[in-house]
Each structure stands twice: as C-alpha cells, then as structure tokens.
Amino acid sequence: MEVQPTAAPPSHRWKTIFRNTAYILAALFIFLLALDLMISSLQHLGASVAETIIMATSNPFTGLFIGLLITAIIQSSSATTSMVVALVASGSISLEGAIPIIMGANVGTTITSTIVSLGFITKKKEFRRAVSAGTYHDFFNILTILILFPLEYYYGFLSGISQQIASTFFDQPFGPTTRISFLGGGLGTIVNNLVQLIDNGFVLIILSFVLLFGSILFFRRVLSGILGLETEGGKSADKDSGVQKFFFQSPLKCFGWGLALTAVIRSSTITTSLVVPLVAKKVIRLNQAVPFILGANIGTTITAFIAAMSNSNIAISIAIAHFLFNFIGVLIFSLVPYVKTIPVNLAKGLGKLTIRYRLAGFVYILLTFFFIPFSLIYLNRSAQTVRELTYSRDNNGVTSEYRLVSTTFRNHQFSSWAVYEAEQKEPGQLIPVERRKNMLMINNELFEFNQPGFCRDGEDGDGQYRMCIVEVLPDYRINETTKTDSVFVFRKIYSENHSVELMISAGDNMIVSRRSTKNGSQLSDQLRLISEK
C-alpha cells in the first residue's frame, strides 16, 4: 500500500514563512547598508580617486566597456547597477557618465546564459538550439545599444528624458545631489560609526562591495529556493515541469512571468539562463522564450529603483534611465515589424554556425566581451580635451592663484572641473559641469543663456535671489593673447544691498569672473580668469 505524504503542520508552515521573510528583510537591509557605506567610502577616499574615476568614465566608450567587463566578471548586473548608483550619489561620476556603464552592464550580464549554452557542446543539435537561446539576449542588448548609445552620446537622449521625468513627477531639481542616505538619519549612524572605526577608504570600499554582492546573492538564493527555480547544486532546472509549462503558455503570460520573476529575485542572469536548457531539450521553442527574456529585461531594472528609494534626484534619474533603455529596446524588438526578427535570426544564425564550427561560440565570446570593446576604446582614445585655466583670487585683500583643469569628451555634454589650490598636486574640489542646449549647469547651479533682461528666481546657500542677464558681450579679451566669445553677464540679487555678478562664456562653457558686493562695497573672494592653456 502506497503511503501518501502528509502535509506540513500549520505551525511549521508559519515558521517557514517567518524565516524566509526575515531572510529577505535582512538581505534588503544589508543591501541598503552596503550602498550607503559605498557612498561614504568613495567620499572618504578623496578627490584624487574621484578624479581617476571621472577620467576613466568621461569617455563613454570606456564607460560602456567598464560596465560590460565588471558585470561579465561578477555575473550580476544588479551589483553593477547598485555600484553605479553609489558612484553617482557620491559625486564620483555624473548621470551622463553612468548611463554607458549601465548599457554595458546589460550586455555583460548576458555572458552567463552564453556560457550555459556552451555546456551542450558535446550534443550537436542541442548545442545549436542552446546557443540560439543563450545569445538572443546578447543580440537584443547589443542592438539596443547600437540604437540608443549614439542618441545618448550626441544628444543626451536618455539622461535628458530621465532627468526631466525625475524633475516633473518626483519634484526633484536638475543636477546631482551632494549627499544621500539610503537608510535615513537613524540607521545611517551605523555607516558613520563604521567609517570612524575603520577610517580607511579602500578597506571600506572592499567591505561595502562584499556586503553588496553578498546580499544580492543571498537574496537571490532564498527567493530562487522559494520559487523552485533551482535544483540541487544550484543549477537551473532543465526538464519540463508544471511551473515551467505555466510560464510559457502564451506570449503575454510569458512576458509577465519573465518580468515578475526577475523583479522578485533581482537577477536576469538566472531567469534568462533558465530558458537555455529548456530550448536545447525542445521543451519550448526559441520564439516562446523570447517574450520571457524581454520581460526579464524590464524586471531587472527593479534594483535601481530599490536603490532610489531615498527619493534623491540622481538615484531616481539612474533608475529611470535604466528602465527607459530596456523598455525602449523591448518596444522596438517586440512591436516593430521585421525589426523584431533581427535578434532572433542572428541568434539562430550563430546557432547554425556552431554546427559547422564548434569553436564559433568561444570566438563570439572573445569578440563580443573583450576584443570589440577594447577596439572602441583604442579608436576613441584621442577624443578627450583637457584645458587648464588659471584664476586670480582676491580673498580679503590677499591675492593668490589657483588652477582649474577642465576635462571634456568630444560630443559629450558632461565635463568635470578639478580645482587645484596654489601648488597642490591633488585637486581640492571636483565640480561637475553639464551643457544642454542653452543651459549650463555648474555644480548644481543653473545658468540659462537667453536675451538681456531675462530673469528667473532661485535659492542657494546664501538665500533666495533673482538672477537676470544684464548684457551679452560678443567677445571678451582675457589677456593680450587669449579671448573668448558670447560672454553673458548674470546678476544675482539677494536683497537691495547684496548682489553677485558672474561673467560666463557660453562659447567655452567657463566662468570668466565672479564679483560680489554688499552695502555698496566689494566682498572678499573675488575671482578672475587670467590665462588658459
């Protein structure tokens, strides 16, 4: 007589639910703690390290490769995205510099499913189907980059839209924030205590990365076990089961499951790799797996939104940019006739090629994830422009000079200013600068190049003000050998007795002079550009 298994008693089920909930909350807490610690660690390292990061990511092609390589190594786009949020929040890179990294991370995360497909190399027909399933995700993201990267590179497409959405719907100002805390004032004291206790930026960075990556892996394993997405040994199930049948019943339901499962376990790596053995063993066809993979691309953006729960502008902007990149790609390759078949045909074509040449899969990985990105960096290595400006400062009657090194990448709207006091070898301050059509953002301060008489209200650390354009100078001579053009004279009036006058070159995106007066007399700390190299 066959003995039927008995159901677990209610008390045991409740204990399991409480235990799993506690695990999930603990993983989420550690994830947010690690993000906050990473931000503090980056700020603790100082301006020289931040300048190194800015120099590396000011080239969009380099940023694209950095995101691709890091994600390919750690096999987690969630961890890469979280680190990018921390880098931007700490002021180490800008939103414009972060978007190529996120694009690269989307490609880097696909290496796992491609490697999984290579596991079928000993079985000819299964290998062909596995490679087709494993590389569809690659081709989808690569083609999306080919469409959106030039738009972002030349026009700031994703960064502009994401900042506009953040400003409109989340009531956040343009420009980066100076400091955010994901855990709030109370729990944020844990981070402050750790920083004071360890007092070593590199150790703090390593600790924050270990906590970040560990929390994501732990979170993923707990939820994968609850949902039954892993078998013993942590490998994705490769046989037909009731759950897997349910996933692929219809394109819409398939898309929804891909989105939901990836959002829950925060790993497109697992969910997209799940379909490779299913396609290889003909449990489902590649065309059935496509909606699931597209849904996973949307679901993976949840990590950035979790990191943005502090409601800071820069974190929300990154989350929106990540979502827009994936969402636009899904719209193009699921709705546009003929175009939507391109990644499928490329994946099937590569699968057929592997029947004739088994090494084609390995060559593809080397080309896609290493050779081509390095070639793009090499070909664009000379597109960076560095300018050195020297300013004269009058501070309470004491005159001194300081250098400002401006780094700009050709056709890129973002640049960074590194300020060197006196004979300092390391910058004492890093200032993000962004130019968008007739607007110039300098360290979160907006200047609009308009007609004389144009005014707008604002507020800064000195209080509320009204800023007006007094005049526009067609050209302005800095010294006997150097001049600049389109110099706008801005006057910020705080009160009847307090005003600040700034001369800014719209042609060269630089401050020419700054002079403040109060009660009719000139205040201290006046600036004047005296030379340029």
More confident residue, 66 or 178: 66
Give residue 2's pLDDT band: very low, low, confident or very high (50, 70, 90).
very low
Dihedral of CA 344/346/348/351: which sign?
negative
Burial (CB < 10 A; 0-12, 13-18, 19+), residue 168, is exposed
pTM, rounded to two decimals: 0.68
Residue 467 has what pLDDT?
92
Strongest mean pLDDT among 42-51, 229-238, 504-513: 504-513
Burial (CB < 10 A; 0-12, 13-18, 19+), residue 421, is middle
Give residue 327's pLDDT band: very low, low, confident or very high (50, 70, 90).
very high
More confident residue, 240 or 54: 54
CA distance 220 to 208: 18
Bridge-based pairing state of the strands 398-409 and 414-421? antiparallel
Mind listing the pLDDT tens digit for each residue in 199-223? 776 777 778 767 766 766 676 566 5
Mind listing the pLDDT tens digit for each residue in 273-293? 778 888 888 888 888 889 999
> Do residues 531 and 391 touch, judged by C-beta distance below 8 A?
no
Mind listing the pLDDT tens digit for each residue in 238-283? 444 554 556 777 888 889 888 888 887 766 777 777 788 888 888 8
Other CB atoms within 10 A of residue 126 CB: 18
Q: What domains, with CATH codes, occur in the chain?
A: 11-379 (no CATH), 384-532 (2.50.20)
Give residue 145's pLDDT band: very low, low, confident or very high (50, 70, 90).
very high
189-201 mean pLDDT: 72
Mind listing the pLDDT tens digit for each residue in 372-414? 777 766 666 656 677 788 888 776 667 777 788 777 765 556 6
* Nearest residue to 163 (alpha-carbon basis) of 148, 171, 174: 174
Residue 286 has what pLDDT?
86
